Structure 1
Amino acid sequence: MTPSHTPSNTPIDDSAIWHSLKQAIATSSGFQSWKQERSSDKVLSDLPVDQQLQRYLRETLETLAY
């Protein structure tokens, strides 16, 4: 049996994927709107972008699951 392979035949780098995904989400209109709605939240504005994105994704998934 032939082993499966990715089209590029290179290992997947999770940190590179997260970095690209993080950039795409941070510039998305959904994230920008979410952040604008919470502009008065001092705690949120003090968080690093990674943590803001994680909070946005968690809230978005919770909303979708509801």
Structure 2
Amino acid sequence: MPIFEYKCKKCGAKSEFLEKSGSSKKHKCEKCGSDEMQKVVSTFSAGSSSKSTQSGSCPTGTCPLS
């Protein structure tokens, strides 16, 4: 099951919930208890930063980002 991020319309707090895709389950804000939560688009992160400064991290050995 994927993790979805929600933002409370009342207090602005963000929360993450584990739920099935397409679920219509109502979530309550963990901070204020409001049930006015809006699903937000969150970023996916895996691995390390793209601006790596480690030697050998670029195919040519001369990375322009370092």
Superposition TM-score, scaled by structure 2 size: 0.26
User: In terms of Rg, which structure is larger?
Assistant: 2
> Structure 1 or 2: larger helix share?
1
Q: TM-score, normalised by structure 1?
A: 0.26
